[in-house]
Amino acid sequence: MKFKLIAILLLQQILLAQMPKADLIFINGKIWTVDKTKPVAQAVAVLGDKIIAVGSNSEIKKLAGKNTQIVDLKGKLMLPGFIDDHTHFVSGGFQLMSVDLRDAKTPEEFALRIREYAEKKPGKWITGGDWDHELWGGELPRKEWIDQYTQNTPVFVTRYDGHMGLANSLALKLAGVTKETPDPPGGLIVRDEKGEPTGILKDEAMSLIYRIIPEPSLEERINAIKLALEEAKKLGLTGIHDIGTVEDFKAYQELYKKGELTIRVFLRLPISQWEELAKVGIQVPFGNEYIRIGSLKAYADGSLGSMTALFFDPYDENPNTKGLATDIVIDGRLEKWAIEADKAKLQLSIHAIGDSANSLVLSLFEKIVRENPAWDRRFRIEHAQHIHPKDFARFKDLNVIASMQPYHAIDDGRWAEKRIGKERCKTSYAFRTFIDNGVKLCFGSDWNVAPLSPILGIYAAVARQTLDGKHPEGWFPEQKISVAEAVECYTINNAYAEFAENEKGSITPGKLADFVVLSDNIFNIPPEKIKDVKVLMTVLGGKIIYKSSGF
């Protein structure tokens, strides 16, 4: 046995000596690899854009040549680069250029910010906003709040969940929305006691305004992405699963051709375009290491905050509604498109928030499995926020990925029980229950609905402390998960969700050299401290794309 061990060690030394010299080496780190065959290491070597070795300082230093760049991590924690599995990345970039209403705490502050923005850019559409009416007690905004400041400026600012928006009188006039306009299928025009539109439009009713807002140019789209890229690199993101359009795809391509794309993009296009992709033979995943397509996004319902998420039982806050199914659910297009897209080997990624909507989507997936030929589908339900207890096992049985955004739990947890009651909240944002049921759990931000930061997402999943400070032990603390589990949800699990687990998501030889270095070891600090951790360095394909001034 002793001689066998010596032989193995000698063989390792010979193999190391024969390996090419590294371009970049990181030493003296606390490296959490997310690779179960070698969970921890001190050092990692990179050649080109790939990892060539992971091990101890002494092992990896042997791969240094005269031109090798050596980075001393000084004991800091290195993880695989974060991947965000649910972003509206281009919209986030545009929001950085738009009026910001996210923390407006009173109707007066809401109106003042719109007034100031209108004065800077008179006549130009005001969009974005991301307002939260719960911050001033729950009253929905009305067009009268802003009409006096925007008589010549059309406004359509949305709630931060993206499922309802406020239009001013000019925008309603331009869109032809009047007292006589009927509610579209899957949408709601909120009206006053006289039947006049208040300016609030929910879900599909928002399309009445969206269709008249001018589309941004390719140059404007590229500029928005550039702003978003600057945010992403500071937060340790090396990959995103974006929800976008063909026009976004063109903008990403332009940035890639110029060498300016500093993130890997898995772009999900609207399900209505499945046939165009299928006709040219695109199957998931199609593309290169920087831009891939082949996944399709659809909506089954609305949101909890807008009371348009679809539930089996009425809302506690408003017993007159159970929420709204989308128009494509109501008229059968979702089922038809989903069945045909799956036959074409395009991934289905469907938004479902209420328990009824989740159950409906699971039943659709069951039908697809029953009727279509088998293949490596990797079904996804986006959000999977409120689950009927009977449906957790269905996720597992159908191999459905639960694509969740943990920050929503600590945000919505401020008022969710008011909306749907305590009993339904027990299986809301049920991270622990999903994992215990063997479901593949993936994490993202839903930016610009929520902050882009994966660190905040990890904190939310581990601590579950609501933003109002009222749940110091965690909102439904039995649904907390460990730091290690949360990190997997932001790395290897998200790589799996985009069919790329063999290329990225862990610090493993042969995989892409995508890393993030943190200011503190999130495995060793109290959970409530995680939210204050900073990103010190972001590495994409062996290139340092961000380094904080303090490192």
Per-residue pLDDT of the chain (551 residues; tens, 9 = 90+): 555 556 555 665 665 566 689 999 999 999 999 999 999 999 999 999 999 999 999 999 999 999 999 999 999 999 999 999 999 999 999 989 888 898 999 999 999 999 999 998 888 899 988 899 999 999 999 999 999 999 999 999 999 888 899 999 999 999 999 999 999 998 999 999 999 999 999 999 999 999 999 999 999 999 999 999 999 999 999 999 999 999 999 999 999 999 999 999 999 999 999 999 999 999 999 999 999 999 999 999 999 998 999 999 999 999 999 999 999 999 999 999 999 999 999 999 999 999 999 999 999 999 999 999 999 999 999 999 999 999 999 999 999 999 999 999 999 999 999 999 999 999 999 999 999 999 999 999 999 889 999 999 999 999 999 999 999 999 999 999 999 999 999 999 999 999 999 999 999 999 999 999 999 999 999 999 999 999 999 999 999 999 998 78
Query: Which among 413, 431, 409 has a CA at the least distance from the CA of 422?
Result: 413
Contact between 159 and 134 (Cβ < 8 Å): no
Kindly report the length of the chain: 551
- The set of long-range contacts for 467-476, using a CB threshold of 8 Å and a minimum separation of 24, is 467/410, 467/411, 467/413, 467/414, 468/414, 470/414, 471/413, 472/528, 475/409, 475/410, 475/413, 476/425, 476/426, 476/428, 476/429
Query: In the chain, what's the furthest Cα-to-Cα distance?
Result: 91
Residue with tokens 């969700």: 497
Residue with tokens 């001034």: 549
Distance CA 236, CA 79 (A): 9
Let me know if 509 is exposed, middle or buried by CB neighbors in 10 A (0-12, 13-18, 19+).
middle
| SS3 at position 539 | strand
Distance CA 355, CA 375 (A): 27
Domains of the chain by start residue, with CATH: 91-210 (3.10.310.70)
